[in-house]
Amino acid sequence: MPIISTIDPASASHMAWRDLLFIHHLIMILILRTIVFYNSFFIMIKRECRRKADVNPLWY
């Protein structure tokens, strides 16, 4: 393959590594946002349960 041989492997691997880091960065941001969203969601549910339990202990 002449195209790959013209590019020196160091810069090619560097570009691939940078792309990998970029994709990993995006995935990590998505995962962290999902975790934060779910945590706030569960905290809201817990608060609602506590509020209902304070009003009516037999709600559980």
Q: Is the pTM of this model over 0.85?
A: no
Q: Quick check: is 33 in a domain?
A: yes
Q: Quick check: is 16 in a domain?
A: yes
Q: Which domain holds residue 19?
A: 9-54
| pLDDT tens series, the chain, 60 aa | 455 555 565 676 777 888 888 888 999 999 999 988 888 888 888 887 777 766 666 655
Residues 60, 53: contact at Cβ < 8 Å?
yes
Q: What's residue 1's pLDDT?
A: 46
Q: Quick check: is 42 in a domain?
A: yes
Number of domains in the chain: 1
Amino acid in position 11: S
Q: Quick check: is 14 in a domain?
A: yes
DSSP classification of residue 8: -
Q: Quick check: is 4 in a domain?
A: no
Q: Quick check: is 3 in a domain?
A: no
C-alpha torsion angle, residues 35, 40, 43, 45 (rounded to 10): -100
Q: What's residue 7's pLDDT?
A: 58
Q: Quick check: is 35 in a domain?
A: yes
Q: Quick check: is 46 in a domain?
A: yes
